[in-house]
Chain A
Amino acid sequence: MIIDLPRFIAAERPTWTELEKLLDRLEADPYAQMSLEEVQRFHLLYQKVSADLGRVATFAAEPELKRYLESLTARAYGEIHETRTRSAKFRPVHWFVNDFPRAFRRQAGPFAVVMVITLVAFLFGAIATAFDEEAKEAILPGQFAHLMDDPAKRVAEEESATRDRLDGAKSQFASMLMANNIRVSIFTLALGITFGIGTIINLFYNMALLGMVAVDYVLAGQTVFLLGWLLPHGIIEIPAILIAGQGGLVLGRALVGRGDRAPLSARLRAIGPDLMMLIYGVAVMLVWAGIVEAFLSQYHEPAIRYWQKIAFGVLEGVALVWFLWFKRVAEPAEEDRS
């Protein structure tokens, strides 16, 4: 095929310019919507540019023209063949109260697996501490060195404290807890890339530590102190870590693809929105947990009664279960109407 290049460019340039302007508009505004006529026009322009590229592709001496048409075709292809909805508007409250619990429920299977791992790991840590005196020293990492002491001694120190250790540093402490816990949660989720194995190991280790500390305090007769200390923030913080683990297992399951005949790219594409909502919900939960830990959990009797802290923790736990599992969430169709 022989084409008169200058005439070809002169004739087709309006089409290319029109498509380019349309693409610029679509890409500049993530919420842009096209009317039916615009969609039809867009499709026609895409086909015309594709045809032009097909003609120029065999034409050696105009590499820049070819690159330009390739770039236009690639951009239009992304818009034409995309079947996912355009990104939703920035609605952080709506995402948390609707999309997060919906994603959690949709991925209930992996969360059940996380719960089993948690239970086994907790029992492992508890039994190891109860029957092996050296287990605590062997397993507890350096950052928890303060938990190596006798629990009764620590409780006595805490209850006899005359000054507020966190006076003038509560906000900083809360921010450190938030940053650290969110980092740990992201890492737990990200380890799902190891087909979920890294997530399972990470969860098992953390929950075994929890079991170890818990049984240590129980055996020392400090159960009430333990509950008063851990429940107010732990009832939110620990489920948050577990939900991050749920995200890791969702990722791992998509990578393994057992029982799913869809290709890997389609499986990963399908779980993306849920992973996003899970980690977003986890981050919000951990912000709350950080505030509670810095401003409430670190204070003990006689400053605040244990039953009050335990009651607060139980109320949070009930609210969390209701929120994640029983609260009515708006269905996507209802959201569209609103």
Chain B
Amino acid sequence: MSTALRIKTPEGITFSFQLAGPVVRGLAWAVDFLVIIVISQGVGFLGRIAGIISDDLAAAVATLGYFIVSIGYGVAAEWVWRGQTIGKRLVRLRVMDAQGLRLQFHQILIRNLLRFVDMLPGFYLVGGLACSFSRRAQRLGDLAANTIVVHNTRHAEPDLDQLLAGKFNSLRQHPHLEARLRQRVSAAEARLALQALVRRDELEPAARVTLFADLADHFKSVVTFPPEAVEAMPDEQYIRNVVDILFRTRGTDAKPARELSGATP
């Protein structure tokens, strides 16, 4: 099973969704199960009020109420919250169309009705197995409805201000090389440099020196700054300066991406 679904648009742009596996989906379902019980209790209370009129009516309200809540909760929540229930919101999951198109009501209805088969023989065994072996992590309901469940992971960013401690960065004196560095370094390389700084205290002194030397050599081979900018600069400080350039922009636009990133699909 792959963990991401990549969609290529006719414009040649590719974007990807992180697929949710059976464990995290099970967690969301457990929360939703509790929510259904709570709502059913509320309906039962309404039934007791109806009992003032008739005990028969009260029992009918309770019976139908639980049935409607158990089936309708997932359908209504996913429709109103565009693919999310309370459980899915808590663990950051969302139901989406498998082709990235707009989620339709009939898709939500079908995937929820097919729970009757996915739940067999108990504890969502069929659905869990299907999800584990499916290429797109789909249970049978998702397959029939042509939907996927994606996981909007939150990447915790380290506190760069504390990490980089506001020292003068001589590399910033060369804006054109700064821009070239940003352009040439891959995401994986940038993360590696950042993680080396975050975990520096976990390393043995000798290993730390070797690691930062290797990293500095690598980044120097990517973009070469003038000798006066890097003169007598320790390897670790060089990496700090590189990370500063890669992860922090200057001036009033210092955190634009972070401000914007609240709007996830």
Residues of A within 8 A of B246 (CB): 60-61
Q: Nearest-CB distance from B210 to chain A (Å)? A: 24
Q: Is the CB of B100 within 8 A of A78?
A: yes
- Range for the number of chain B residues in contact with chain A: 35 or more
- Assuming the contacts A78-B101, A171-B56, A251-B144, asked whether A65 and B15 have C-beta atoms less than 8 A apart, the reply is no
Is the beta-carbon distance between A60 and B182 smaller than 8 angstroms?
yes
A172 touches B249 (CB 8 A): no
Inter-chain residue pair count (beta carbon < 8 A): 190
Selected contact of B101 from candidates A81, A170, A178, A192, CB within 8 Å = A81
Size bracket, chain A contacts? 35 or more
Counting CB contacts under 8 A, is A276 at the interface?
yes
Cβ-based interface call for A214 (8 A) = no
B145/A268 in contact, CB under 8 A: yes
User: Which of A70, A82, A169, A192 is B15 in contact with, Cβ under 8 Å?
Assistant: A70
Partner of A2, one of B110, B179, B265: B179
Q: Please tell me which one of the listed residues A61, A172, A198 contacts residue B60 in the complex, with CB atoms under 8 A apart.
A: A172
Q: Are B13 and A276 in contact (CB under 8 A)?
A: no
| Bound: A51/B186 CA distance, A | 19
Q: Is A273 an interface residue (CB 8 A)?
A: yes
Q: Does the CB pair A78–B247 fall under 8 Å?
A: no
| Cα–Cα, bound, A101→B189 (Å) | 60
Please list the 6 inter-chain residue pairs (A to B) with the smallest Cβ-Cβ separation, ordered nearest first.
A65-B257, A61-B246, A171-B60, A172-B59, A276-B106, A6-B253
Chain B interface (Cβ within 8 Å of chain A)? 7, 9-17, 54-57, 59-61, 63-64, 67, 71, 82, 97-102, 104-107, 109-110, 113-117, 140, 143-146, 155, 157, 175-176, 179-180, 182-183, 185-190, 245-247, 249-251, 253, 256-258, 260-261, 263-265
Interface pairs (14), CB distance under 8 Å: A2-B176, A2-B179, A61-B182, A68-B263, A72-B263, A77-B101, A82-B101, A84-B104, A175-B67, A179-B64, A182-B67, A193-B114, A272-B146, A276-B105
